[in-house]
Amino acid sequence: MEHVMAIKPHWRTLLSLGLLSLAMMGNVARAQSVPIVTGQQWMESSDEQKKAYLVGIANMLEIERAYAGNGANSNDIPQRFARGLKGQTLDGVRQGLDSYYAANPAMIQHPVIETLWFQMVLPGLNK
């Protein structure tokens, strides 16, 4: 597993883009039925499933950053996510989302990505 993680960032990005392209081509007809993960699914998921979701979000943000390249703007979503979550660990973000949904059961139907943005990224930008 360690040798897989040693892939250079640009090759990892190209590999991710290639896999994403294949996945998207296979889902073109179903694109409108892509589910949005809500707090309910989040709370019903195992810690490993939650981590996999967060790694997927991180990978998508890295793809966006790589695609933007030198033309990236500091107000672009990937850059704002990076600044807002600076210093956070994967487990810290997972625990933050767990705590938020546990303390706010009325928000359980809200998408996890929305909760992540408003409860963790934006407050992190104000630090």
Residue 123 has pLDDT above 80, yes or no: yes
Closest C-alpha among 59, 55, 74 to residue 125 = 74
Residue-level pLDDT at 66: 87
Residue type, 120: M
Band (pLDDT 50/70/90 cuts) for residue 1 is very low
Domain containing 20: what range? 1-34
Q: Are residues 16 and 41 in the same domain?
A: no
Q: Are residues 29 and 41 in the same domain?
A: no
pLDDT, tens only, 11-59? 555 555 555 555 554 544 455 667 899 999 999 999 999 999 999 999 9
Give the chain's domain count.
Answer: 2
Place of tokens 């996890």: 112
Band (pLDDT 50/70/90 cuts) for residue 98 is very high
Residue-level pLDDT at 83: 93
